[in-house]
Amino acid sequence: MLAVHRTRHHNGRAELTAYREAYAGGEWQLYVAGEFDEATTGPLADVLDDACRQRAWRIVIDCSAVTFADVAFLRTLLTPHAHDVQVVLAAPSTALRRLLQATGTVNRFPVTRRAWSAPTG
């Protein structure tokens, strides 16, 4: 069973939905959409911090609907690495791929081309 946590930034530019396995130490799955910069990465940072505190072993982030990403978003994605948590980027958008290439961080994340299906309910 997955517990669903949904957070939407107040200005509507970014959306985050997190799904995680009910037991501690599981795999977390996140769906992010919209524009991510210094003003909109806070909810994502909070969820990633929570995943690290609960000893997630892997976080898979569906990034297919990210329309803008800057270095604040990249810093947030890198945070779990300090806790030995693997971050996998699922279907990274063109905007995110450009950021990873421009910053030389392409090889820091395993990438899967397939976006995942979010649980319903």
The CA-atom distances, in angstroms, between 116 and each of 17, 57, 71 are: 13, 18, 25
pLDDT tens by residue, the chain, 121 residues: 455 555 555 457 787 777 765 455 588 888 899 999 999 999 899 989 988 998 889 999 999 999 999 999 999 999 999 999 999 999 999 999 999 999 999 999 999 987 665 554 4
CA distances from 111 to 7, 9, 61, 86, 90 (A): 24, 26, 10, 11, 6
Rounded to whole angstroms, how far apart are CA atoms 74 and 77? 5
pTM of the model: 0.84
